[in-house]
Chain A
Amino acid sequence: MKKVKMLIASLLVGALVLSACGTSGGAATDTTKSATETKSATETKSATETSTPGSPVKLSLWCGFTGPDGEILKEIVNRFNSSNDKGITITVDVMGWDVLAQKLPTAIATNTAPDMALLIGDTIPQYINSGALQSMDDYWTSSGLDKSNYVQNVLDAGVFSGTTYALPMQFNLIYLYWNKALFTAAGLDPEVPPATMDQLAEYAVKLTDSSKNQYGFAMPVKGSPEYWTSFFWNNGGELFDTSSKKSQLNSAENIATLAWMQDLALNKKVSPVGATGADAEALMTAGQLGMYIDGPWLIGGLKAGNVDFGITAPPAGSKGQSVISGEIGFVLPVTNTKNKDACYEFIKYWMSDAIMKEWSLKNGFPAWSKSVLADPEIMKDPIQSAISPLNILGRAYNPNAYAAMSALNNDAMWPMIEAALTTNGSPKALVEDASKKIEDVFANN
């Protein structure tokens, strides 16, 4: 009996010690995790350094696709690994985008970076300013692909000051999703989404029913795409000019737009207060949200939740219809001195018609090569046929590759939106305050 007690006691102590190691501020586990990851990256690197041409090449790729699209990506990579005749094997390392943004710069600085990484377009300029990426100008000549087959503004998104630093992996706008069943229940035509901002407001009010915990149109205050850019731009307002480093936020149009958003949120209560992007996506997939503006990644969740949904462009305003565009691109850290050609092989594979079509059909992301856009399967697919014509509405949020973009976005713009949608602050004061913060960021960066 005493022996059994001793055994149980020592097992419990062991468990306690292990859990204590885990909970000691997560820092301990984080350092061990990053230690093993950098170790595997260095192992991969040393394996490639000793390889001679023709022998197996091992590449590492870091990305932030933690959702179901990450699984599809890994599947495609595995297919590449088994089908390519150059002996190239790629290992994909998936981590959250914010974790990637913290690990990659230090990895490049300490020479433990992967051979390739996938980065969100808006985050690339700061890497270029710090000389962390290498030019990919020679890609088109070495791959032999026809550059004119690809949509020009998508390719341009990876070109900074005339040099190609990123090759597109995917491209997307944000789209207005609407729940057709809720439209019918509210007496609206389920096949006709709102085309203007005024209609959006009108429909949102009709779709809101607080007794059923049902909301008309979600307006998150953080953690979502910058849907409000469409509202400001489409009403004729501008936000800031990063080439001349001036704030353009303080204008009558923008104050009116902000007041319109505030009214919808606080008075008409069409959106849950203080919602995050994740909250809005959860409501939409649960069928409790009438309309929401989000990226194509929502499509998988809506299909899984059996929501009968439609997809179209965010509504036009009085002065036009622009939609913020986003892209994710392949980049090569400067530390990748030996495997550039092998990486180009994979990027060429990715840009082939078959893979681009597969990614578009499975994920709902728009195709961006003319041959795929003309493909009959794409043209028949209900989602692809709805979103392909919308590509021309795309407008870059950071057209001049301003390196401190996230400071503008997170220190000035989002706090203004949050204050407007959750408090009764006067739109004029909030706009003036945000404009001043924009000027502070420009002054310091």
Chain B
Amino acid sequence: MDNNLTKKKKLKSPNRVVWLFLAPSFLFIIVFNFIPLISAMTISTLDLTIFMKNVSFAGAGNYIKVLSDLRFWNSLKNTMVFTLMEAPMQIGLALIVASAIHQNTRFRRLMRSFYYIPVVCSMTAMGILWSILLDPTLGYYSFIFKIIGIDNALFLKSPSTAILWVVLITVWKNFGLTMMILIAGFQDIPYSYYEAAQIDGASAGQSFRYISLPLLKPSLAFCIITVIIDCLKVFDQVYVMTQGGPLHSTETAVQYIYQKGFSIAPFNLGYASAAAEILFLIIAFVTYFLFRSLNRKEAVEY
């Protein structure tokens, strides 16, 4: 009896302290996530411009306008193309590099730092740097391409190759982060498994396929989900390098929303918010779908 009472007392006091610890994070999430989410939903039903005068209720009007706008569908298509190119490239490259440098030698640890450097650089600054490097007339890459024989490479100025180069630059910038997560995943795998496989006569490829990959599933699932969500929200590099051009070939959803809300008269925030809500629903659905399919099986354990 005595024990139960003291147990209950001990359970109560940690609760209050717990809320105190959680409060700053909660505040942050409420101010920067929750409130903007609700405001965006509200604004999407209004007829509101950036001058915030003459506000009127528009109901579903904004949504109808967005869904009947060809440029919006084009921006969704560009976002999908971007995601389908960037995610496999980034994760694939990160996986290959991680499998090569996850051992803890001095050289390998140095290489990890090098690969991580683009991640800490500002995407805006890197975007500007790359657009100078890739300038067809004055850029260094155009010079190199001419030497190896490709004479009129237009890089970011051609509607057909611009999105490819935006993808490549994004991969270059972000794969370091994915690589670090996968290295942590690799280091969780006990070396004894590889030894055992070696004794059984497995080749490097086989041990990768039957030991590394299954045991990496949790890290891989995390990487896939975060990379895809980030791809669907791509904006910085597009805004800085191509502004959605040439001929709207790199205009992704967020770039389109930004243009309509902040760049071009009449700065219709209602319209932009409606488009943002639709994008939010798409990302939510994709995330849910990914969660369901990737976390279906229990983590493999040997």
Chain B residue, CB-CB nearest to A213: B137
- Let me know if A130 and B157 touch, CB within 8 A: no
Interface 9-mer from B189-197, B201-209, B210-218, B264-272: B264-272
Number of interface residues of A (CB under 8 A): 41
Partner of B157, one of A19, A273, A411, A445: A273
Interface 9-mer from A55-63, A80-88, A104-112, A142-150: A104-112
A382-419 at interface with B (beta carbon < 8 Å): 403-407, 410-411, 415, 418-419
A131 to B236, CA, bound (A): 33
Partner of A105, one of B50, B123, B154, B159: B50
- A20-B120, A272-B136, A407-B264 are known contacts; what are 9 more A-B pairs with Cβ within 8 Å? A23-B123, A98-B263, A102-B50, A108-B51, A130-B54, A272-B137, A275-B137, A404-B266, A445-B265
Chain A nearest CB from B249 CB (Å) reads: 11
A404 to B262, CA, bound (A): 13
A222 to B263, CA, bound (A): 14
- Let me know if A131 and B137 touch, CB within 8 A: no
Chain B nearest CB from A337 CB (Å) reads: 18
Chain B residue, CB-CB nearest to A406: B265
Query: Given contacts A22-B122, A102-B50, A418-B245, are A411 and B137 in contact (CB under 8 A)?
Result: no
* A127 within 8 A of partner (CB): yes
- Let me know if B136 and A127 touch, CB within 8 A: no
- Let me know if A102 and B262 touch, CB within 8 A: yes
- Let me know if A274 and B264 touch, CB within 8 A: no
A344-361 at interface with B (beta carbon < 8 Å): none
Chain A nearest CB from B252 CB (Å) reads: 15
Partner of A422, one of B52, B53, B159, B236: B159
- Let me know if A445 and B266 touch, CB within 8 A: yes
Pairs A–B under 8 Å by Cβ, sample size 12: A98-B263, A102-B262, A106-B52, A109-B52, A130-B53, A273-B136, A282-B138, A283-B138, A404-B265, A405-B265, A407-B266, A415-B248
Partner of A127, one of B51, B137, B247, B262: B51
Number of interface residues of B (CB under 8 A): 31
- Let me know if A422 and B120 touch, CB within 8 A: no
Chain A residue, CB-CB nearest to B259: A410
B106-153 at interface with A (beta carbon < 8 Å): 120-124, 135-138
Which residues does chain B contribute within 8 Å of A272, judged by CB atoms?
A: 136-137
* A25 within 8 A of partner (CB): yes
Which residues does chain A contribute within 8 Å of B49, judged by CB atoms?
A: 130
Query: Residues of B with Cβ closer than 8 Å to A?
Result: 49-54, 120-124, 135-138, 154, 157-159, 236, 243, 245-248, 262-267
Against B, the Cβ 8 Å flags (1 = close, 0 = not) of A23-54 are: 10110000000000000000000000000000
User: Top 3 A-B pairs ranked by shortest CB distance?
Assistant: A274-B157, A130-B51, A109-B52
A16 to B123, CA, bound (A): 16
Interface of chain B, helix or strand or loop or mixed? loop
- Let me know if B135 and A415 touch, CB within 8 A: no
Which residues does chain B contribute within 8 Å of A23, judged by CB atoms?
A: 120-123
A221 to B123, CA, bound (A): 25
Chain B nearest CB from A126 CB (Å) reads: 5
Which residues does chain B contribute within 8 Å of A418, judged by CB atoms?
A: 245-247
Against B, the Cβ 8 Å flags (1 = close, 0 = not) of A189-221 are: 000000000000000000000000100000001
* A132 within 8 A of partner (CB): yes
Which residues does chain B contribute within 8 Å of A407, judged by CB atoms?
A: 264-266
* A78 within 8 A of partner (CB): no
Partner of B243, one of A22, A26, A102, A222: A222
Which residues does chain B contribute within 8 Å of A131, judged by CB atoms?
A: 53
A117 to B268, CA, bound (A): 23
Query: Given contacts A404-B265, A418-B247, are A109 and B136 in contact (CB under 8 A)?
Result: no
Chain B nearest CB from A161 CB (Å) reads: 17
Which residues does chain A contribute within 8 Å of B263, judged by CB atoms?
A: 98, 406, 410
Against B, the Cβ 8 Å flags (1 = close, 0 = not) of A415-430 are: 1001100110000000
Which residues does chain A contribute within 8 Å of B54, judged by CB atoms?
A: 130
* A279 within 8 A of partner (CB): yes
Chain B residue, CB-CB nearest to A102: B262
A130 to B157, CA, bound (A): 37
Chain B residue, CB-CB nearest to A110: B52
Which residues does chain A contribute within 8 Å of B264, judged by CB atoms?
A: 406-407, 410-411
Which residues does chain A contribute within 8 Å of B248, judged by CB atoms?
A: 415
Chain B residue, CB-CB nearest to A26: B124
Which residues does chain A contribute within 8 Å of B154, judged by CB atoms?
A: 273-274
Which residues does chain A contribute within 8 Å of B50, judged by CB atoms?
A: 102, 105-106, 109
- Let me know if B120 and A403 touch, CB within 8 A: no
- Let me know if A422 and B265 touch, CB within 8 A: no
- Let me know if B124 and A221 touch, CB within 8 A: no
A407 to B138, CA, bound (A): 32
Partner of A25, one of B236, B245, B247, B267: B236
- Let me know if A422 and B123 touch, CB within 8 A: no
Tell me which of B120, B138, B154, B265 has the highest count of chain A C-beta atoms within 10 A of its own C-beta.
B265
Which residues does chain A contribute within 8 Å of B52, judged by CB atoms?
A: 105-106, 109
Which residues does chain B contribute within 8 Å of A405, judged by CB atoms?
A: 265
Query: Given contacts A26-B236, A109-B51, A419-B247, are A126 and B266 in contact (CB under 8 A)?
Result: yes
- Let me know if B243 and A279 touch, CB within 8 A: no
Tell me which of A26, A127, A405 has the highest count of chain B C-beta atoms within 10 A of its own C-beta.
A26
A247-289 at interface with B (beta carbon < 8 Å): 272-275, 279, 282-283
- Let me know if A283 and B137 touch, CB within 8 A: yes
Query: Given contacts A16-B120, A98-B263, are A423 and B138 in contact (CB under 8 A)?
Result: no
Chain B residue, CB-CB nearest to A27: B32
Partner of B136, one of A26, A221, A274, A410: A274
A419 to B247, CA, bound (A): 7
Chain A nearest CB from B135 CB (Å) reads: 7
Query: Given contacts A26-B124, A26-B236, are A422 and B137 in contact (CB under 8 A)?
Result: no
Tell me which of B120, B136, B159, B266 has the highest count of chain A C-beta atoms within 10 A of its own C-beta.
B266
Which residues does chain A contribute within 8 Å of B266, judged by CB atoms?
A: 126, 403-404, 407, 445
Which residues does chain B contribute within 8 Å of A275, judged by CB atoms?
A: 137
- Let me know if A274 and B122 touch, CB within 8 A: no
Chain B nearest CB from A78 CB (Å) reads: 31
Which residues does chain B contribute within 8 Å of A283, judged by CB atoms?
A: 137-138
Which residues does chain B contribute within 8 Å of A279, judged by CB atoms?
A: 135, 137-138
Chain B nearest CB from A113 CB (Å) reads: 12
Chain B residue, CB-CB nearest to A411: B264
